[in-house]
């Protein structure tokens, strides 16, 4: 492993607040997209899809266990709905955006050119892969602590009963709790070719920008913008 990549991974460990990684190659794999591996087969023969598979299973177990113990009277259908909401793409990608995970992911040239560093699906998949890497490198307990810490804001939504709602609805309800407000979602820029664009939307209330979000559709970008605004307003 090159020195600059080793230093980058060590910085990432610090950003996440993890104690250490015994095997940096596992973390490197978790942060390697298949597009990069395909372009660099001679010197980089691994990527994160297997770790993503493992991390997805661990994520379901940890969040399911937490909800089961935390809400002993919640019916099975509501438990499933709550878990699906917490581990969905939007929360995972939003968590990754907070510590700029995209800056640490190895991507192929095509993915880089089309805005892959901020693409929700790539970020969410990488989050799951990192969970799998923590489990392999350390233990289930360390993976569990990481998941519960990173997703605490979304787990808290379950207690309020708001987990089934999308972020635009939550945001609208929050800002209009004291009366009607003018809410606008404005496209501020686009990146990438026509067949694979990334859209950036701002949410504006009474002329003031409160959040910005990115997504592969304007609808997804609006959801991310509303989520960022809720966090800024300490509503989550």
Q: Domain residue spans in the chain?
A: 3-161, 168-232
How do residues 3-54 score in pLDDT, each as one tens digit? Answer: 899 999 999 999 988 878 899 999 999 999 999 888 887 567 788 999 999 9
How far apart are alpha carbons 13 and 236 in whole angstroms?
25
Which among 43-47, 74-78, 95-99 has the top mean pLDDT?
A: 74-78
- What is the CATH topology of the domain spanning 168-232? Double Stranded RNA Binding Domain (3.30.160)
Q: Which CATH number fits domain 3-161: 1.10.1040.10, 3.30.460.20, 1.10.1520.10, 3.30.70.20?
A: 1.10.1520.10
How is residue 157 written in tokens? 């939504």
pLDDT for the residue 219: 86
Give catalytic residue positions: 56, 128
Distance CA 85, CA 80 (A): 9
Residue 235 has pLDDT above 80, yes or no: no
Cα–Cα–Cα angle for 116, 119, 124, nearest 5°?
Answer: 115
Start-end of H helices in the chain: 3-16, 24-30, 34-39, 49-70, 76-86, 89-98, 109-113, 120-137, 140-150, 152-160, 167-175, 218-232
Strand order in the sheet with 198-205: 183-191, 198-205, 208-215
Do the beta carbons of residue 205 and residue 181 sit within 8 Å? yes
């Amino acid at each position: 492993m090159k020195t600059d990549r080793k230093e980058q991974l060590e910085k990432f460990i610090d950003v996440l607040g993890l104690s250490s990684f015994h095997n940096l190659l596992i973390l490197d794999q978790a942060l390697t997209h298949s597009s990069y591996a395909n372009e660099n087969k001679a010197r980089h023969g691994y990527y994160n899809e297997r770790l993503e598979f493992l991390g997805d299973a661990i994520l379901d177990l940890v969040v399911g266990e937490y909800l089961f113990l935390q809400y002993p009277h919640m019916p099975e259908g509501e438990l499933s709905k709550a878990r699906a909401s917490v581990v969905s793409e939007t929360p995972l990608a939003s968590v990754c955006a907070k510590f700029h995970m995209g800056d640490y992911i190895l991507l192929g040239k095509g993915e880089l050119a089309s805005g892959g560093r901020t693409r929700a699906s790539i970020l969410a998949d990488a989050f799951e892969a990192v969970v799998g890497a923590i489990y392999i490198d350390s233990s289930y307990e360390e993976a569990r602590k990481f998941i519960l810490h990173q997703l605490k804001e979304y787990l808290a939504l379950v207690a309020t009963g708001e987990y089934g709602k999308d972020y635009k609805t939550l945001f609208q309800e929050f800002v209009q709790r004291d009366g009607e407000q003018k809410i606008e979602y404005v496209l501020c820029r686009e990146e990438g070719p026509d067949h694979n664009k990334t859209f950036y939307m701002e949410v504006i209330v009474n002329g003031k920008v409160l959040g910005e979000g990115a997504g592969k559709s304007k609808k997804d970008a609006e959801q991310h913008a509303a989520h960022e605004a809720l966090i800024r307003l300490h509503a989550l």
